[in-house]
Amino acid sequence: MMKIYSEQPETDIWIRLSNYTYRNNIIDYFDEKNISDYDETIIDKISGALHQSKEYFDASKTSSMHISPLLLYYGYTNLMIGIYCLMTGKDLDIKNHGMNLNIPTESKKIGDVEINIKDKNNGALSLLAKFYSDIEGITQMGKIDMSLLFGAIPELSSEYVKYYKTKPSILPIERMNTSKGYIERINVKNQLLKDATTELFNLPQYKVNYMRTSRVEDYIILRKKLSGSDITYSSISGKRYFQLLNVREATISPIILNMMILFALSSLSRYQPQLWFSFVNNDSTGERLIIDKYLSTITRILPNYLLNFFENKELIYTKEVDSIKEMEKPLTQKELIELMDTRINDARFT
């Protein structure tokens, strides 16, 4: 994780990305990465995609909720495709979005809208999921409710649990320094978070990288194997969490999750104006607060996610020098005793 002090994070992120709107910088990048088999038109495509993306994001900030999802989806997908072309020197053969919607007639909740995932060969979602999430068969998900996707966005976690009253699709973790390294724990005081741990423990990638857990008061103590990999994700604020949505033993990255959400919201805005207009102007349930917060935060978050992917770094932009911490806390005496007992018991059976 690299912390970068910035008074204007959005501006600085776009300056970094906009370096690759210039032909010479694109060619220099290709040379650095030994990318030689490219068509000259790909340079204009990269430059144009990044330029358009920035303008779509900027336009969304001065637009109402009636059309901002559409602008953000165009801006985000342009940025995703531009970075793909930059990193590979190749274009994508995209024929369609790779998704469509099922809109329930008996419910007015946006969270009940279903996304159908289709076209594994030429759908934008499938092609980009292979690149950004290393997922070959995202179409095997079939369909997924919007509420599950909202539950996978760390910036919405508190509002999500309060409104939807169901377990989220992520689990926040705390990391604590010990003499042996760090230990991870999950606060399960909230019953919905406790329920979500069952899904975590059943994930194949969790079983490969972690040993048995132990419970200490309101916390579940996780113990990673010595050879275990870090399978957590970092939010833009620097806090760690487990992602529970997965396909064929691979978790779906935040980059792809947000693409799916924006597709659905933009489709409702463009193709279902009667439903979207009524929701935006007349919602009395509080669901609009969740979507309003989502739309207002992703202009900052999504370019940061893609910049991180492009540079293969966790870049945390912050206005405060000491604002980012890994939630590191010393173990209590009771937790230390519990940990020692668990390790002694493990040693007896190995």
DSSP secondary structure of 107-118: ---GGGPEEEE-
Which of 175, 202, 171, 163 minimizes the C-alpha distance to 188? 171
Residue 272 lies in a domain: no
Segment (H or E) for 176: strand 174-178
Amino acid occupying residue 262: L
Helix intervals (H) in 133-174: 146-150, 157-164
pLDDT at 147: 93
Classified as helix, coil or strand, 57 is: helix
Backbone angles phi, psi at 122, to 5 degrees: -130, 5
Residue 24 lies in a domain: no
Both structure tokens of 77 = 């997908």
Residue 227 lies in a domain: yes
Residue 142 lies in a domain: no
pLDDT at 223: 85
pLDDT at 22: 97
Residue given tokens 């799916």 in the structure block: 260
pLDDT at 226: 84
**Distance of alpha carbon 58 from alpha carbon 71, whole angstroms:** 9
Which of 91, 93, 97, 90 minimizes the C-alpha distance to 76? 97
CB 26 within 8 A of CB 75: no
pLDDT at 331: 56
Residue 14 lies in a domain: no
Domain count, the chain: 1
Residue 100 lies in a domain: no
Both structure tokens of 202 = 């059943």
**Distance of alpha carbon 100 from alpha carbon 139, whole angstroms:** 12
CA 149 distance to own-chain centroid: 10
pLDDT at 294: 96
User: CA neighbours within 13 Å on the CB side: how many for 69?
Assistant: 25
Profile the chain (350 residues) by mean pLDDT over runs of 10 residues: 86 96 97 95 97 98 96 98 98 95 88 94 94 84 91 90 89 80 84 90 90 88 88 86 77 91 97 94 93 95 96 84 47 62 59
C-alpha dist (Å) from residue 77 to 58, 93, 113, 258, 315? 15, 14, 21, 10, 21
> Domain span at residue 179?
153-244+325-350
Residue 170 lies in a domain: yes
pLDDT at 150: 95
DSSP-derived secondary structure letter, 202: H
C-alpha dist (Å) from residue 73 to 12, 81, 262? 21, 12, 5
Give me the residues paired with residue 151 across strands: none
Strand boundaries in 244-348, DSSP class E? 246-247, 250-251, 315-318
Residue 132 lies in a domain: no
CB 234 within 8 A of CB 208: no
User: CA neighbours within 13 Å on the CB side: how many for 170?
Assistant: 29
Q: How many CB atoms lie within 10 A of CB 261?
A: 24
